Structure 1
């Protein structure tokens, strides 16, 4: 016998149901709880579960309990189950009821044998008897089903809560308040501090009494959140200022005076602004007030603007900064643009001009990497080229003793405008006046003269020479357009007017290259001591700014005067920060010996750097990358100078010893996808 107990099943035959012969003797099955549980589970799992009237008893004996069932009820269950499944009668029919539990680790055979694979009474569907507490597994299943039906809410991380709050704020800004409320309710998050919500409503509605009363004033609730008293005073000041201006607009002079004297002045904050506010009392009408105060006037617009200012002073746990999601998206777009190596269009801070569904990627086909035009009018080496400040002209200087001025038309094609002749030594350097009226040309080391041309008329305005022994190889315009500085390696360093008259001079400075800063006082000069020094012609002071280990052949300065780009002999191109006086970056790739090669900043925001090279190429770098993003081929000899159009970011010029000037631009044929910059960021391959 099984030590766990005995299960006695009494079943009635079909004859007793129909009033036939007397029922056969009771058939006894001696089985373990395991086997009995399997049969009982199959029966209870049928549609007639409600007819089970089994009684559970728990004897005090150490063995497991015995389950005794009403025999008629069990027979009724089996009969119903057999009828529902179309099964036959007899023992095999009873076993057909048990086949329903075969998938739960049980097996049934034609001979009616039934075993449990694991030897345990527990099954997947729970229709067995529990082997630990003696309760039918059907009860356990019901409990577990109820537990699983209630889904546990996921505990949100801090970042997930922040995202939900950002989405909620954006929905609120769009007017989708019901959607926002549902999101907050389902997530269990809070968009903002309850007091902040009331505060916002009071401000937008202009309910200043409710905002400022001590019992409802937001600062009494947020003192624990905002610990900086100066911030609290600043916020109060902004609120009272709005209240004061609205009273003035409504011609409530007495009420406005009361706010000014009793509320604004006691704050003892921004007294200068209080004096300005008091002057608004003299405004004769509302339009005059709005104009002088630069204020939108009473209404939703000015109050919303005020609320945006106030939000910036509150911690995000109390109230999110205004349009925070849009701010983050804008920052993400700007970061993608900054990392895009070929982005050469104006930075638009708005989100409407970009797609948030794709990462930003500009194509190399939009970049000035393709030869658009080859200028061959010079008959010897071309030493220098420079676009005018307005981008409409290009000047080129050559060993053939001429300067050619080219006109840039609306289709970015260059046409010969004027040829300026007479430079006996050739032209190695050119400088446009700030208004592009004049052009100064300098020669090589042996040249003691410079020529100042009127570009519009083609007339020579001034031909300057202080001494036949001078060497005037470099020049730079003062920002006022009335003076210029010039010098050379033989120790000349002059400041002159438009007529060539000498205004000031420094003795003993062997100048390699010159540049005037925007302060109209400081002149940067590289010299033969491998340095760049700053010279002040007003107080005659000078200071060291850059020190290199090799000769500085040429340099140029960015528009903001912060960065300097140096071409260093045998070293290549170096970027210096003039304010911090530190070397920022060394650019790789260019071949720089002892030839004078001129590089330049270019592109929108001057994000790019271009330089010629002795290996006949033009190299282009992104300012933040040491490796070149493009190598332009086409010239057959040393490229002496490059110039990027300051107005058209997709236009670049290069001058070479091969006697040509090449104009570089985007690919000649751009499809729509390329124009939108949505295709791949290309490699350096031409």
Structure 2
């Protein structure tokens, strides 16, 4: 069904809108849905008549390479050795090197799982290290995995279900978020949109989490949408990860009353602030406590930049600080907002996150 056009598109000029929607986007979703339903001939016919394709040949090849564990081919297609020669089109703000790191990390873990320790060490030194020279903590954690005695210990310590589990599908889902939707539709797009419409129309409560002795202060989703994380003032459930059935799959053991949590977009760091003026940084992959910072003043909110390098912490002393997650250094301070009896939050703003937004209790 793929045509010679790399990213999909009509044979002639730009398509007319469809009921105020982009005609190409609607058609691509329709073709994908017909294939999902098993109507492959109909999908082929729509593709031929419209001149649109769901995904470019390079994207199809990239997905197949990731799912089959062809890591060299995956990088070739990602970085520009496919049919087009200039690599996959990425979403705004996406970092190609972060995507390469994820591919190589999966390769490293699979080699360890196969007990090919020497080859895994070469990947760590020659392929992973050049991509994260400013992330020594990550390299240290990966290095420690070399000491695992068997595959079961590796999967447990790395919070990873192995090459025969869902790890490649999860990796592809993470990588897909960095690829422009103009060339790669999210899986089952129409079904996802229909579910969103149903939920918004019915307002149905799908799940209630109980068993907390104190209020839940924060909640966020993981990238794959299959689990979510809560922060709570309940010291027995300070930070918990839940599946869609409402089952707690992991509780971080460090006991503190959690004021707010943030998960880095690359899912490398989980940051929590407690009400005792401490900031806790966890490695989300291994679930280990990486370090903590004493802030001297109670923090009210934390958020992480899109590139996963910085965290923005709002404090009760009318100041927000920007901290480098890897080096732990404060690189910028923001003052002027008024903080009193209410919880004030700060966050990154702008298309390129080139400014900081903050609430305030005054009229400014």
TM-score, normalisation: structure 1 = 0.27
- Which of these two proteins has the greater Rg computed from alpha carbons? 1
TM-score, normalisation: structure 2 = 0.48
The structure showing larger relative contact order (alpha-carbon pairs under 8 Å, at least 6 residues apart) is 2
